[in-house]
Amino acid sequence: MKCLEKKIKNMDCLDVSLVKLSVAAFVLFIITIWPAAMNWVISVNPWYFLILFVIFAIRPLYKVWLK
């Protein structure tokens, strides 16, 4: 675990942004090649995704802006 922490500390803002973009691109790839995933995404109420976004964003935003 310490090795992973050491490697993550070497990442800068650009690296973190690229990781986020790569995850988003991979998710788009999965939902385009797997019809069941696309059907699930389309059938879910979009407000659930917004709620998840807020839940997942609370801690990082708190640490960056308020702490």
Question: Based on C-alpha coordinates, what's the Rg of the chain?
Answer: 16
CB 37 within 8 A of CB 31: yes
Name 65's Cβ contacts closer than 8 Å, sequence gap at least 6.
Answer: none
Distance CA 58, CA 40 (A): 26
Count of structural domains, the chain: 1
pLDDT in tens, 4-46: 788 878 888 888 899 999 999 999 999 999 999 999 999 999 9
Domain that holds residue 35: 2-66
Question: Pick from 38, 40, 19: which is nearest to 28 by CA?
Answer: 38
pLDDT band at 58 (very low <50, low <70, confident <90, very high): very high
